[in-house]
Amino acid sequence: MIKFDCDYLEGAHPRILDALVRTNFEQTPGYAVDDYCKEARELIKKECKAENADVHFIVGGTGTNATVIAASLKPYQGVVCAVSGHINVHESGAIEATGHKVIGLPSDDGKLEADILEEYCRKYWADSTYEHMVQPGMLYISQPTENGTLYKAEELKRLREICDNYSMLLYVDGARMGYGLMSEGNDVTLPLLSELADVFYIGGTKVGALFGEALVIVNDSLKKDFRYMQKRHCGMFAKGRLLGLQFREMFIDGLYYEMGAHGIKSAYRVRDAFRKAGFPFLYESSTNQQFPVLPDTVLDILSEKFSWDYWCRVDEEHSCVRFCTSWATKEENIVALEEALSEFSAKEE
């Protein structure tokens, strides 16, 4: 079975494993105060052109999201996001577990439109009973989104303006940041994110690390005592140097971008293969998640050789499925998929 189910099917880039093996018996202090962590932090800050940022390493996106949100908001504030936002849908209530409401606004493709956000904020503050309603304190967006779409620089700037106008923080979930950065037409760089966001994270788990995310806190007011919050939310990793080693490896000479580019290149071959076979897509994704809409009969046949993530039913005879590529996607698997799809295409003609 060739799997396109998700982007965390394999282990880690071999260079990362090498680094772990090579340093295995060094003795370093725990909890991410070792030299590897320090070096990784410096590399990331340089990459972001954010010399004054604080960088923390956390295991897992859900933990990162919950810790950041709990650390940033007042108890009576909530976090606004697209209704499809990971925090609203796929974290088993980890945000609400910290006492905060997730306020999901309508979205067709995973992106939150500025107008929708602005209208929400305007109405909220115009309501005379606003003290009885959760106060919007933060905007959460994901870049790329859960649907593979990307915000453009202009769109982010507009969202930032609205956040400023309505006293909201801007937090960017970058679980798949590496793929977004290397996507065609992308104009959102790490330095730009450091300019626009108050806090964001660069995902490792889905882009070639064994595990780990690098949180970049730009806004000074969010920096104090963050390590307490990490510990309180069970995200203070004992052998912290494992996180430092990985991010050091990924950012010392561009490995992170290389891995992102591989995932993107593979994704476009997958996308083109589906396109060529004449299948439409549910979302216009330019990243490593592709959402073709296929007849169930086609899925039946493909399922003999391939697996994927079932997304949703489109109509009685069609489904949308998610095909993910990653830093680890093998050429031969892409070729196999291309062949399988080309036969389809032939049959359909």
For a copy of itself, the binding residues in 226-255 under the rule CB under 8 A are: 227-229, 231-239, 242
Binding mask 164-203 for a copy of itself (x = CB under 8 A): ----------------------------------------
Query: How many residues in the shown chain lie near a copy of itself by CB under 8 A?
Result: 74
Interface segment toward a copy of itself; rule CB under 8 A; list 90-98, 158-166, 265-273, 289-297: 90-98
- Asked if 106 is part of the footprint of a copy of itself (rule: CB under 8 A), the reply reads no
**According to CB under 8 A, which one of 41, 206, 262, 322 is a site residue for a copy of itself?**
206
CA distance 307 to 301: 11
Q: Which residues in the 10-39 window bind a copy of itself by CB under 8 A?
A: 10-12, 14, 17, 20-21, 23-30
- Asked if 92 is part of the footprint of a copy of itself (rule: CB under 8 A), the reply reads yes
Work out how close the CB of 230 gets to a copy of itself at its nearest, in angstroms, rounded to a whole number. Answer: 8
Q: Which is nearer to a copy of itself, 240 or 286 (CB)?
A: 240
Interface segment toward a copy of itself; rule CB under 8 A; list 7-15, 166-174, 181-189, 193-201: 7-15
Q: Which is nearer to a copy of itself, 21 or 346 (CB)?
A: 21
Q: Is 138 helix (H, G, I), strand (E, B) or coil?
A: strand
Give kind and range of the element (H or E) at residue 103: strand 102-105
- Check residue 150 and report its DSSP letter: -
Interface segment toward a copy of itself; rule CB under 8 A; list 56-64, 142-150, 259-267, 338-346: 56-64
- Asked if 63 is part of the footprint of a copy of itself (rule: CB under 8 A), the reply reads yes
Compute the C-alpha angle 198/201/203, nearest 5°: 165
Beta strand pairing status for 54-58 and 213-217?
antiparallel
Q: Is 338 helix (H, G, I), strand (E, B) or coil?
A: helix
Q: Which residue has the tokens 């108050």?
A: 198
Q: Which is nearer to a copy of itself, 119 or 343 (CB)?
A: 119
Compute the C-alpha angle 163/136/95, nearest 5°: 115
**According to CB under 8 A, which one of 59, 121, 188, 250 is a site residue for a copy of itself?**
59
Q: Which is nearer to a copy of itself, 212 or 260 (CB)?
A: 212
- Asked if 9 is part of the footprint of a copy of itself (rule: CB under 8 A), the reply reads yes
Strand partners, 135: 77
- Asked if 316 is part of the footprint of a copy of itself (rule: CB under 8 A), the reply reads no
Q: Which is nearer to a copy of itself, 24 or 346 (CB)?
A: 24
**According to CB under 8 A, which one of 48, 56, 98, 302 is a site residue for a copy of itself?**
98
**Cβ contacts of 32 within 8 Å, gap of 6 or more:** 56, 57, 236, 237, 240, 241, 243, 244
Contact between 137 and 170 under an 8 Å Cβ cutoff? The reply is no
- Asked if 210 is part of the footprint of a copy of itself (rule: CB under 8 A), the reply reads yes
Cα distances from 228 to residues 67, 137, 291, in angstroms, run 10, 21, 40
Write the single-letter amino acid at 205.
T
Taking residue 285's Cβ as centre, other Cβ atoms within 10 Å add up to 24
Work out how close the CB of 75 gets to a copy of itself at its nearest, in angstroms, rounded to a whole number. Answer: 6
Interface segment toward a copy of itself; rule CB under 8 A; list 83-91, 112-120, 178-186, 253-261: 83-91
The DSSP code sequence of 285-335 is --SSEE-BEEEHHHHHHHTTTEE-EEEEEEETTEEEEEEE--TT--HHHHH
Q: Which is nearer to a copy of itself, 205 or 285 (CB)?
A: 205
- Asked if 102 is part of the footprint of a copy of itself (rule: CB under 8 A), the reply reads yes
Terminus-to-terminus CA distance in the chain, angstroms?
27
- Asked if 125 is part of the footprint of a copy of itself (rule: CB under 8 A), the reply reads no
